[in-house]
Amino acid sequence: MAKIIRAIIVLVWLGITALLAYIMYSVLQTEPDRNIVFAWIVMSVIAFSSATFLAYNVMYPHKSAYSEESDEEYEDDEDSEED
């Protein structure tokens, strides 16, 4: 199931990348005002960075602060309090 979700995320990331590339091509070809072009470039970079960050975190999950070792320590503490 995790592989299916990762594959979907990769497809969404590829779609977002293709859409942003198309939008940038279109804006660069049609917009004469350099300020508006710069604004579109900044928006596209932020959107691409966000999509890449989210896709990376889904593809390669990091270990959380909660681990089995801390769970075992917590259970040991509970047992000692009950005695």
Tokens coding 52 = 């890449």
Tokens coding 31 = 């917009």
Per residue in 44-75, pLDDT (tens digit) is 999 999 988 988 888 777 766 555 555 555 55
Higher pLDDT, 11 or 3: 11
pLDDT, position 22: 93
Q: Does the model's pTM come out above 0.85?
A: no
Terminal C-alpha separation, the chain: 43
pLDDT, position 55: 85
What's the average model confidence in pLDDT over 1-17?
87
